[in-house]
Structure 1
Amino acid sequence: MDIPNWLEIILRSSSMVLILFLLTKWLGKKQLSHLSFFEYIVGITVGSIAAEISSGLETHFMNGVYSLLVWTAIPFIAGIIGLKNKKVRNFIEGSSTVVIKNGKIQEENLSKEQYTVDELLQLLRKKNAFQVADVEFAVLESNGDLNVMLKKDKQPITPADLQLEVAPEKMPQAVIMEGKIIDGGLSSRGLSRAWLDTELEKLGVTLDNVYLGQVDTYGQLTVDIYDDKKQIPETKPRQSLLTSLKKCQADLESFSLETDSQEAKQMYKKNADKLQSIIEKSEYLLIQKYS
């Protein structure tokens, strides 16, 4: 009994989805990221072959599968060779090109890559670089990405520039999803449901109205709620901490002036100086806009 055309197309297409999935898994994640010239050609060809096998009823199914295997094996083998031989890798994947050096456009390199100045400026704007003169180096990668290094005096100030020691950032941890508490997220930060209830009460929201709740590096809860019209009060725990530290430091200074005891005066002054040093080292972090 002959299989109806519509059923054969369904079976062929379903088989192709499974085969392409397995072949792509074999090639690895690189095939899913930015493609080189070679990978781009292979991707188009494999897609065309798969489409022909799925709908071309006159095409022998296994012949198409063999063709797919060949086209998949070629980039796999080329990738292995490229890992061991830089010249082969550069030939297959291409190499990076410097298009800006010391704030000056390298016209010859730009022309060789067939980019116009307008296209270069567009890529620079995507990297938040609006002035060519501000760029120390700009490198056009083989996958078409532009990597930019600004001149030292144009780079944003970092804690390292201010000689500040900062604690490493932790990945935000989800503690509420779609109105349900994620106990694993709470326990990973050493927090409890009681703490969560208190924080939700401070924000004036109920658990069932929270679509997503996350705890940041500093243990602050931020929520996204279903009711977008409701305004959530912005909490600034670090700003409050800074205010408290400054008040304590001022109180210690005041106590040192009020007391007649030289021993107490020295103690108050010594601790006021220590607290002032702590404030100076941590103020940069405590006054950030996202605090």
Structure 2
Amino acid sequence: MNLPEWLNIVIRSFSLLIVLFILTKILGKKQISQLSLFEYVVGITIGNIAAQTSTGVKDNFFYGVCSLLVWTIIPLIISISTLKNKKLREIFGGKSTIVIKDGKIQEDNLNKEKYSVDNLMELLRKKNAFNIADVEFAVLEPSGDLSVLMKKESLPLTPKDIHLKVPSEKEPQTVIVEGKILDEPLGLTGYNRAWLEAELQKLNVALDNVVVGQVDSYGKLTVDIYDDKIQIPKSQERALLLATLKKCQADMELFTLATQSKEAKQMYKKNSERLSNMIQRVEHLLNE
């Protein structure tokens, strides 16, 4: 039985969609950025062959539309169907694959995904993991990305680890763009134009020479200027504040040693310890 040409195109397009899906599953989870030059060329060629084969003709607009509809509608149906069906998601979207467990590479899983050890090491380096022994767990996601869990002893120290409370930070506000002050974000910082102009004077920078100016949650203004040859002086306010606090703490210790009064000695010692604890909590902020 001879089928209409447009129906043949629909059937060919649907069949090729299935074939391409199977071929993609065979090729593995590599992202475009992870493909070798040869694999990239092969992918382009396969796509071109599929496009030519699905339509069979170049000049018939209707047949081309039929093919495009198949290539659009079928993936859309699959996308909707997988939202509430886990098995379908695993079939069409793939499953996560464990490639490192307890600091050891799972070679069988790596081979199934067509990944070499060099591919894995490249992905680990992108996650700042240069030593496999430091990795507790690594999973290759269906998207081709690598999720890495570092061992506890290899994680960087955080304020939470030493029970140090630090103030929360808000996003910096861009208050100057191309020499123009933005009043709305400036108002969100709690400062005004007079303060901003005073800060620019401290940096010895003219407003019209500023490309971008930002104010962080601590009220520090940083600017990028057009003339990169000009060296912008760093603000010394925080350093002076830290030095003043340390001087006060040192004075308290001297008063403790100098006084003969027991009550005064205890008072100076107690306040010196309080000041020392406060300096430890804020020193990393004032050194920035």
The normalised TM-score by structure 2 is 0.74
Q: For 1:253, what is the secondary structure of its paired residue?
A: helix
Q: CA separation of 1:213/1:112 partners in 2, compared to 1, >3 Å: closer, same or farther?
A: same
Match for residue 230 of structure 1? 230
Q: Deviations over 1:185-239 (max 9, x none)?
A: 1101101111111111111110000000011122111111000111111235444
Q: CA separation of 1:69/1:286 partners in 2, compared to 1, >3 Å: closer, same or farther?
A: farther
Q: Is contact 2:166-2:281 (8 Å) kept?
A: no
Q: CA separation of 1:269/1:93 partners in 2, compared to 1, >3 Å: closer, same or farther?
A: same
Task: Tell me the distance in 1 between the aligned counterparts of 2:139 and 2:239.
Answer: 40
Q: CA separation of 1:73/1:166 partners in 2, compared to 1, >3 Å: closer, same or farther?
A: farther
Instruction: Report how far residue 81 of structure 1 moved.
Output: 1.8
Q: Which runs of 5+ in 2 are unaligned?
A: 1-30, 33-42
Match for residue 89 of structure 1? 89
Q: Does 1:123 align with 2:123?
A: yes
Q: For 2:83, what is the secondary structure of its paired residue?
A: helix
1:184-195 aligned within 5 A: 184-195=184-195
Match for residue 104 of structure 2? 104
- The total of aligned residue pairs comes to 240
Match for residue 173 of structure 2? 173
Task: Tell me the distance in 1 between the aligned counterparts of 2:163 and 2:155.
Answer: 16
Task: Tell me the distance in 1 between the aligned counterparts of 2:199 and 2:208.
Answer: 14
Instruction: Report how far residue 64 of structure 1 moved.
Output: 4.6
Instruction: Report how far residue 172 of structure 1 moved.
Output: 1.3
1:246-285 aligned within 5 A: 246-260=246-260, 262-285=262-285
Q: CA separation of 1:97/1:194 partners in 2, compared to 1, >3 Å: closer, same or farther?
A: same
Instruction: Report how far residue 126 of structure 1 moved.
Output: 1.3
Q: For 1:137, what is the secondary structure of its paired residue?
A: strand
Task: Tell me the distance in 2 between the aligned counterparts of 1:179 and 1:129.
Answer: 41
Residue identity opposite 2:184 in structure 1: G
Q: CA separation of 1:69/1:216 partners in 2, compared to 1, >3 Å: closer, same or farther?
A: farther
Q: Deviations over 1:220-265 (max 9, x none)?
A: 1111100011111123544433222211211222234444555544
Instruction: Report how far residue 72 of structure 1 moved.
Output: 3.0
Residue identity opposite 2:137 in structure 1: F
More displaced 10-residue stretch of structure 1: 254-263 or 179-188:
254-263
Q: Is contact 2:189-2:217 (8 Å) kept?
A: no
Q: Deviations over 1:71-124 (max 9, x none)?
A: 333333322221211111111111111111111110000000000111111111
Q: Is contact 2:256-2:266 (8 Å) kept?
A: yes
Q: CA separation of 1:238/1:66 partners in 2, compared to 1, >3 Å: closer, same or farther?
A: farther
More displaced 10-residue stretch of structure 1: 150-159 or 228-237:
228-237
Q: Which runs of 5+ in 1 are unaligned?
A: 1-33
Q: CA separation of 1:89/1:213 partners in 2, compared to 1, >3 Å: closer, same or farther?
A: same
1:1-291 aligned within 5 A: 58-60=59-61, 64-65=64-65, 67-235=67-235, 237-260=237-260, 262-287=262-287, 291=288
Task: Tell me the distance in 2 between the aligned counterparts of 1:174 and 1:66.
Answer: 50
Task: Tell me the distance in 2 between the aligned counterparts of 1:222 and 1:232.
Answer: 9
Match for residue 39 of structure 2? none
Match for residue 9 of structure 1? none
Q: For 2:82, what is the secondary structure of its paired residue?
A: helix
Q: CA separation of 1:241/1:77 partners in 2, compared to 1, >3 Å: closer, same or farther?
A: farther
Q: CA separation of 1:228/1:257 partners in 2, compared to 1, >3 Å: closer, same or farther?
A: same
More displaced 10-residue stretch of structure 1: 168-177 or 229-238:
229-238
Q: CA separation of 1:159/1:238 partners in 2, compared to 1, >3 Å: closer, same or farther?
A: farther
Identity value in percent = 58
